Amino acid sequence: MPQFGFGTWRVADGEEAKNSVQSALSTGYRLIDTAALYGNEVGVGQALLSSGVPRNEVFVTTKLWNDSHQYDKALQAFDDSLERLGLDYIDLYLIHWPVPSQDLYIEAWRALERLYEEKRVRAIGISNFQPTHVEKLLASVNTPPAVNQIELHPRLQQLETRRTCQQHDIHIESWSPLMRGGELLNEPSLVAIAQKYNKTVAQVVLRWHIDSGLIVIPKSVHVDRIRENYDIWDFSLDQDDMERIAQLDSDRRTGPDPTSM
């Protein structure tokens, strides 16, 4: 699985999804992240098909939505996503949210295990699972998750969840890695670090994810920003910079709380 990828949350289906994913692929991205909820799997699939990039060089992730945690519904939801994407297999299939009020994510996981055993998906994982959800899942299933995709950025560093997942060899993938609304891009300490490396603040934050050992999936529909986000491979942050960014953690979410979602 590539460590750096392209997210498609709030990318409209059709031409916007097709064009943005094609731009990402032509820039060099090889991880594309979508979900049933996003409503853009058709456009993403069209971009993959028309990009000219061999299928085995692109790592495709999609996700199971909250209304399909029952075993049979989960299997059908996977088939529906596969058809919309126009693919023969998925590289990574995630349970999008644990939805503890339903308490069906273990049942959903058993469906994902079947898909994995049948080799219709290359890896299975979870998204937005907190330590209690992770531990409960691991105590009840045969195949551990490969990935936990969570909201993660300098203002929400999720250290406890990261430690729990590391103990169980579950890789962490960051969604909303630049935070929403642009607030993070004006943070003075990040501005100073960006000036030091002659980079943008967004590039510094994305490099922080990479240097922290995280998988990261920034999203944009603008070609120049898609290329800018990818241009982070000619520098790395020193220890002082990493420590300065660590001090920005305020446990502040911009998305839903997984315990009540």
User: Active-site residue 38, yes or no?
Assistant: yes
Q: What are the boundaries of each domain within the chain?
A: 6-246
Give the pLDDT confidence of 196-246 residue by residue, as tens digits: 999 999 999 999 999 999 999 999 999 999 999 999 999 999 999 999 999
Number of helices and strands (H, E) in the chain? 10, 8
Angle CA(70)–CA(65)–CA(71) in degrees, nearest 5? 15
pLDDT grade for 183, boundaries at 50, 70 and 90: confident
Mean pLDDT of the chain: 97
For residue 180, pLDDT over 90 is answered with no
Give the pLDDT confidence of 127-177 residue by residue, as tens digits: 999 999 999 999 999 999 999 999 999 999 999 999 999 999 999 999 999
User: Is CATH 3.30.2130.30 the right assignment for the domain spanning 6-246?
Assistant: no
Choice among 38, 71, 197, 230 that is catalytic: 38
User: Taking residues 192-197, what's their average pLDDT?
Assistant: 98
pLDDT grade for 182, boundaries at 50, 70 and 90: confident
Give the pLDDT confidence of 86-130 residue by residue, as tens digits: 999 999 999 999 999 999 999 999 999 999 999 999 999 999 999
What is the CA 180 to chain-centroid distance, rounded?
A: 15
Count of beta carbons in the 10 Å neighbourhood of residue 167: 12
Q: What is the pTM of this model?
A: 0.97
What sections of the chain are H helices per DSSP? 15-27, 41-50, 71-85, 105-117, 131-138, 159-167, 188-197, 201-211, 223-230, 239-246
Percentage of the chain beyond pLDDT 70 is 100
